[in-house]
Chain A
Amino acid sequence: MTSWRIVALAPTEADGCNWRAAGDSARAIAAATGLDFELLLIGAVLPEGDGWPGLSRCTLARNSARLETAAQFASVAAALLDASPTTLIVVPPGPFGEDIAADLAVRIGGKALGRASSVTLGDEELRVTRPAFGGRAEISLRYPEGPATVALRGARVEEASVPMPAPVILDIEAPSPELAIERTAIAGRKTPLEGARLVVSGGRGLDEAGFALIEGIADALGGAVGGSLPAVDAGLVAVSRQVGQSGKFVTPELYLAVGLSGTPQHLAGIGPATRLIAINNDPAAPIFTYAELGAVADAREVLPPLRDLLVAEAGPVR
């Protein structure tokens, strides 16, 4: 069989970009075919963390100045990777990682496979399955060769941890950004969705007061607030907190869904191992099919005492 080279690629300090998710994804693809993989990190410092079985090499491309755009990261990666037709580059799932993957694919003359639910490496070909039609379907495609870039959603690696190999550190010259991006801090921003152990999410069944209550619940427990696409459309929650097929992919331990019906498009943004609990006034809402605890109730009546109980038990609102 073709000997594929698999490289997990990730920025270490970019918002919403989890470098360990790239490693988990690469390990999952490599383990299925008995291959090793490499890790290429781009950032100022090497983050702390264990390695993975099969990780043969760890490289840190240490930049001299903060990299801001996907094109900058892709430029650095393209220069270092020396990609061949049998190279598969795996990025963290999420918008920024996927932007890097697309730009990098063009720079190395390869294919961008997009956001995959599975990747299989074969003899001079690779197969990928991707969601389509808003999560109503999956399509399977066969590519005759690489190089290729991909983001794999939902990969979970449950293996004994191993030490991270001693990194090779390469000092790089940061390429100039192609855009002048002006940044202004937004006051009062709370726990990010990425890495949150609890996500409290609202849908179109809530109003502004309802979202204020779920924010209080999330704050009391150190969780993050999320929302569905219709809630974003209604201006109830920022698009950066949208969970679902076209939003963020989250993998908390517990997901409290309030006023959310549980469409396939929304559920596609929640990791398969995450446990759901749900409050909805529609007893036929599909969300109850996937929830371990549910209540058919008016969220406007349940949320205030729930928030008060959690604040009393878990401490003051943070």
Chain B
Amino acid sequence: MKIVVAVAGVLDSKWPIELDAEGVPRIAADRTVMSPFDESALEIALRLRDVDPANAVAAIVPNEKIARMVAAFRIEDIAILDLPFGVACDPSGAAEVLAGAIPGDAGLVLMGREFGDCDDGAVPPLVAARFGLPFFARVQDVRTGPALLREAQAEEESVILAAPMLCSVTNDRRNRLRKPLMKNVMAARAARFRAAPPSAPMAVRFERFDRVADARRPVACRMAEGTPAEIAAIFAEHLLASAVS
């Protein structure tokens, strides 16, 4: 089976968000990293390859820096899909372009539950719907079968990996991305990558960017002091007085 991992990449949070002359965020490739969700999706793909070496893993990545990070896991088929901010900021636009880059013979498409800095989870189900693939959201683990597993409020839900499908993957201690072998990191430095089809112009218009300094209103904080028992008593009184029992 061909497994395709779509890696979005995000701006490394240690860098400020810079704007171009028109006020549009400008994200330098060398300041991007894989998000925790990207890493989890990649790890699930690697585990499925571990289970059955016949599972070939391919990847779609945003730039050459992340391509080399992914190639260090012995993934050779890597396409670079450059999503301009004006496209990436629109979930439907990003999904349309991404769907165009996914090979038609993919048996499983894996993506982080959020696709990049502007997505809040809409892009994976949009791609699945555009591609006509069944969608299983927020996968956390792989089980024998192989089956993909997630936890809901009171139930564990799983699907056997059989027909072509698209899954989003969420962060979980069980799918933390492994470290690549140093020899593979060195080999990835010489790897070459292909470009995915270019983006189409979108109808949405980017209007404004605002930094969020304080999304929440500050309040005066009454500080409880004393021994741990005294602090506990103050908090207990507050909790009980709030009539939340």
Contact = CB atoms under 8 A, between A and B. Distances in A.
B172 interface: yes
Contacts of B233: 305, 309
Contacts of B30: none
Nearest to A309: B236
Contacts of B170: 239
A251 B144 CA distance: 38
* Chain A interface size, under 10 / 10 to 19 / 20 to 34 / 35 or more: 35 or more
B100 interface: no
B185 interface: no
B155 A141 contact: no
Contacts of A293: 221-222, 224, 234-235, 238
B244 A99 contact: no
Nearest to A178: B134
Given A71-B134, A138-B210, A222-B244, A102 B129 contact: yes
Given A140-B207, A142-B205, A305-B232, A290 B219 contact: yes
Nearest to A288: B221
A279 interface: yes
B118 interface: yes
A127 interface: yes
B208 A140 contact: yes
Interface stretch (B53-61, B74-82, B87-95, B189-197): B87-95
B124 to A, nearest CB: 8
Interface stretch (B42-50, B64-72, B157-165): B157-165
**Nearest 3 pairs between A and B by C-beta?**
A235-B173, A106-B129, A102-B125
Interface stretch (B1-9, B102-110, B135-143): B135-143
Interface in A95-144: 95, 98-99, 101-103, 105-107, 110-115, 127, 130-144
Given A15-B153, A221-B240, A239-B140, 16 more contacts: A70-B125, A115-B121, A115-B122, A132-B117, A139-B89, A139-B209, A179-B159, A192-B154, A233-B173, A235-B172, A256-B239, A279-B231, A279-B235, A290-B218, A295-B234, A305-B229
B244 A297 contact: no
B120 interface: yes
Contact of B91 (A102, A140, A181): A102
Contacts of B21: none
A223 to B, nearest CB: 6
Contacts of B207: 127, 140-142
Contacts of B212: 131, 135-138, 264
A50 interface: no
A81 interface: no
A62 to B, nearest CB: 24
A129 to B, nearest CB: 8
B148 to A, nearest CB: 10
Given A179-B159, A302-B228, A253 B244 contact: yes
A82 interface: no
- Per DSSP, chain A at the interface is mixed
A16 B137 CA distance: 14
A254 B242 CA distance: 8
30 contacts: A15-B153, A70-B137, A101-B122, A102-B123, A106-B130, A111-B204, A112-B92, A114-B122, A127-B207, A138-B209, A139-B25, A139-B209, A141-B206, A179-B134, A183-B155, A184-B158, A198-B242, A221-B240, A232-B172, A233-B171, A235-B172, A246-B121, A254-B242, A270-B216, A275-B242, A288-B223, A293-B224, A294-B221, A297-B228, A303-B232
A298 B158 CA distance: 40
Given A183-B156, A254-B239, A292 B219 contact: yes
A197 B91 CA distance: 33
Contacts of A295: 223-225, 231, 234-235
Nearest to B86: A141
A16 B153 contact: yes
A183 B176 CA distance: 24
A246 B114 contact: yes
B151 interface: yes
A114 B205 contact: no
Contacts of A186: 151, 154-156
B116 to A, nearest CB: 9
Contacts of A314: 240, 245
